[in-house]
Amino acid sequence: MSKVYAAITGVQGYVPEDILSNEELAKIVDTSDEWITTRTGIKERRVMKNGASSDMAAKAVEGLLHKTNTDPLDIELVIVATVTPDYPFPSTANVLCDKIGMTNAWGYDLIAACSGFIYAISTAAQFIETGRYKKVVVVGVDKMTSILDYEDRTTCVIFGDGAGAVLIEPNHEGMGIQDFILRSDGSGREYLLQPAGGSVNPASIYTVENRMHYVKQEGKQVFKFAVTNMAEVSAEIMEKNNLSSDDVAWLVPHQANLRIIDATANRMGLPKEKVMINIQKYGNTTAGTLPLCLWDYEKQLKKGDNIILSAFGGGFTWGAVYIKWAYNS
Ligand code: UT7
């Protein structure tokens, strides 16, 4: 029997309608369009004014099931990558299954910050490759504005809200996830974290008064690790699979900073035309960036395209996934 591969067979994104431009942010904190554009590449980001992460996820999954002609009752497993779950518990996957009527599925949330989507699709692939499941939904979603401090110019300009979802199914033609390299180094937690709300610092008047429920980032330190590790792991997965830069059709990089994306593409020897970029319109949506890129570029993807997804984020967590794209849109 031929090997079963886990293939993405559909992708759908959702971003809220409300746009927050750099100019508008400059009225809230001491910043400028010029600083944000040159340091990050971001021009605007989306803001969800009403609703939770599960609402964005539900919009993406509804669209995904519709476009792939899939009955919600046929979904067996749902993995939601997020650092902004609806609640500490129950899981956002649990809530999402209820909202969409995926009542035969079980699911869970996966926390790996900006690497959440690559961790989640690699995990989902195992359930498909073993033959256990036929239809798995993976969502990358974050409502970053729910944990942003609009008095901290170093973080509030970077992030935005958004969701993307993919359907993963068995493929017998060799298309789908070929390989992944996933890494983690928890000693990086001091540089990028949400300090309170967990068991280290449960919510208290002290944690609220000290603004500890917001994202804290030492940008320069994170930049140093991100630029090296994302580039290295992307080159490593190419070498491991004997891929030259000509063999790679697309790099799908986490959208944290245009300079990190450029460094990764350079290390892989890829020209700009092969790099998916939408940071200018959505900013950093954490677990949402990679599926939102796939959604934006879906029409340009062809069956058999070699695609490298690559990410770096809080934890630290990082990695790369090599996919042979399974369909023409
Ligand atoms: O997605 C998860 C992983 N995260 C990342 O990969 C993010 C990695 N880090 C970065 O992308 C960059 O470090 C940032 C975009 C966050 C910051 O860019 P930078 O070039 O590293 O700036 P910096 O932190 O070194 O700050 C340079 C200056 C500082 O002023 P002084 O000390 O030189 O006077 C900051 O106070 O820029 C100042 N600054 C700002 N100025 C205007 C910081 N934020 C802002 C701002 N507007 N929003």
Closest-CA residue, ligand 1 atom 30, reads 154
Single residue among 145, 174, 203 that ends a domain in this structure? 174
The CATH number of the domain holding residue 232 is 3.40.47.10
How far is Cα 58 from Cα 200, in angstroms, rounded to an integer?
31
Going by C-alpha positions, the residue among 179, 178, 183 that lies closest to residue 233 is: 183
The helix or strand, by DSSP H or E, that contains position 282, with its residue range, turns out to be helix 279-282
Instruction: Compute the distance from residue 217 Cα to the ligand 1 centre, in Å.
Output: 9
37 exposed, middle or buried (CB, 10 Å; 0-12, 13-18, 19+)? middle
What is residue 287's predicted lDDT score, i.e. its pLDDT? 98
Pocket test for ligand 1, best of 220, 260, 284 (most atoms within 8 A of CB): 220
Q: List, in sequence order, every residue forming a beta bridge with 308; answer none if it has no partner.
A: 251, 322
Tell me the pTM: 0.97
Looking at the structure, tell me whether residues 11 and 107 fall in a common domain.
yes
As beta bridge partners, residue 110 has 81
pLDDT at 2: 83
Residues 218 and 94 in one domain: no
In this prediction, the residues of the chain whose per-residue pLDDT falls under 70 are 1
Active site residue 284: yes
Q: Is residue 45 assigned to a domain?
A: yes
Contact 118, 166 (CB under 8 A): no
Distance 154 CA to ligand 1 centre (A): 6
pLDDT at residue 1 in the model = 60
Buried b (16+ CB within 10 A) or exposed e, 248-287: bbbbbbbbbbbebbbbbbebbebeeebbbbbbebbbbbbb
The C-alpha atoms of residue 301 and residue 294 are separated, in whole angstroms, by: 9
212 and 131 fall within a common domain: no
- For ligand 1, whether the C-beta of 40 sits within 6 Å is yes
Active site residue 114: yes
Q: How many domains does the chain have?
A: 2
Give residue 252's identity as a one-letter amino acid code.
V
Question: Is ligand 1 within 6 A of the CB of residue 256?
Answer: yes
Does 235 share its domain with 139? no
**Which range marks the domain in which residue 28 is found?**
5-174
Same domain, 128 and 189: no
**Residue 72 burial class via C-beta count within 10 angstroms: exposed 0-12, middle 13-18, buried 19 and up:** middle
Question: How does pLDDT run across 143-188, given as a tens digit for each residue?
Answer: 999 999 999 999 999 999 999 999 999 999 999 999 999 999 999 9
Domain boundary among 174, 197, 231: 174
In a domain, 329, yes or no: no
Cβ pair 82, 109 in contact under 8 A = yes
